[in-house]
Amino acid sequence: MFTAIWCFAQGSIMLVGGGAESDASYAWSNTPYQWAVDQSTNKKVAVISYDHSGSDQWLPDYFESLGATEATNIEIASRSDAELMATYDLLMEYDVLFFKGGDQSIYYKYYQNTKVTDAITDKFDEGEVITGTSAGLAILSEVIYSAENG
């Protein structure tokens, strides 16, 4: 099921449940991911994770098949990386910030109150799309379950 949530700020937030994406014509992920691309200004997608090891180019290629002009994996693998101005500048080059699944406690520990948080806020205020699936969804709420204690 696809649900879009609009707030009183300028941007859009798309929250979708977990599960494997598929590029098949009937895949659950086609409609919400297409929506995210369509809502963005320049259709540039950052696929963000704390760990892309073992990941391939499938998800960025999938976003490009849905109309993204550019999509790339961005690994922010530590709190020190999340606090870099260079990380903020890199994220600000994209119109869709998509947070992959994984362990939300790691996202929380690494990204909370850093330049990554600033980029999320600033991109949203610019009218762009912030989205995530599974753990990436869980970290995008004002009140979150961090999973730090199990």
3-state secondary structure 67-84: CCCEEEEEECCCHHHHCC
Contact indicator for 57, 21 with CB cutoff of 8 Å: no
As given in the structure block, the two tokens for residue 29 are 């992920």
Provide φ and ψ at 97, rounded to 5°. Answer: -105, 110
What is the CA 27 to chain-centroid distance, rounded? 19
pTM over 0.75: yes
pLDDT band at 6 (very low <50, low <70, confident <90, very high): very low
Q: What pLDDT, on the 0 to 100 scale, is given for residue 27?
A: 74
Beta partners for residue 133, in sequence order:
16
